[in-house]
Structure formats: C-alpha cells, structure tokens
Amino acid sequence: ARSFADIGDIVRGRDLYRGVNGNDKLEENLKEVFKNIYDEVTRTAKRGKKPALQARYGSDPDFFKLREDWWYANRKMVWRAITCKAEGAYFHATCGRGRDATLARKKCRCVIEGVPTYLDYVPQYL
C-alpha cells in the first residue's frame, strides 16, 4: 500500500523503490506527463513569462523542479481525491496535536480542510 507521503515522493521523483530490476515504467510515464505539462505551460505562457519558465524548468530533463512545484500547488486536491470516499474510514482520527487535537469528523477530514502536514515528509526505508 502507498501512503500520501509515498504519492508525493513518486510525483516529485524521490521514490526509493524503482520496481523489479530497476525498470520503472511509472517514472518514465511521469517524465512524459511532466514534459507535456512543461510544453503546454511554456506554449501558453503570457508574454514575458515564457523565458522565466524556460529558465526555471527547461534545463532539467527529468522535470524535478516542475514536479516539486506541481505537487506544492496540487497536493491539497490529491489529498481530497484520496479521501473523498473514505467517510468513516480515515486512518488517523485526530487533527492537530496535543491540546489542539480534534477529531476528524467532517467526512473524515479536519475542519481546516488542509492536508495533515505530518503525512508530507515521512522518511523512506527499504
């Protein structure tokens, strides 16, 4: 099973698991997806923005910086997509820590509607 943190690592190209014999079709597919995003973003960029986008993302054939930015911009929507049908089955019943902790009652989400930050950067071990 994969966790939210694992999905973030996969999207950003940081996943330690590379599949059987190092053959990772998912990684190759993600490179292609982010190449398409890069092509579309630079093609439709407003006047004056294209050089900055090309400078930020263009020299990285694996699109790691674009992938990082995409994850930062979309992680909340990914979290919502993962948990939208998990009513009553949220795996961590509390939001927050210590005295500020509350139960995740709103369709298994915290009231603040945010992604629990304690799930973001979990170290990977093989």
Euclidean distance between CA atoms 96 and 98, whole angstroms = 7
- Looking at residue 54, its pLDDT comes to 92
Euclidean distance between CA atoms 79 and 117, whole angstroms = 11
Could you give the C-alpha distances from 94 to 45, 103, 108, in angstroms and in order? 42, 4, 9
- Looking at residue 38, its pLDDT comes to 95
- Looking at residue 7, its pLDDT comes to 82
Residue 112: name the closest of 126, 124, 95 by CA.
95
pLDDT in tens, the chain (126 residues): 567 778 888 888 887 766 666 667 888 899 999 999 999 999 999 888 999 999 999 899 999 999 999 999 998 888 777 776 666 555 555 566 667 666 555 555 555 556 655 555 555 555
Q: Model pTM greater than 0.75?
A: no
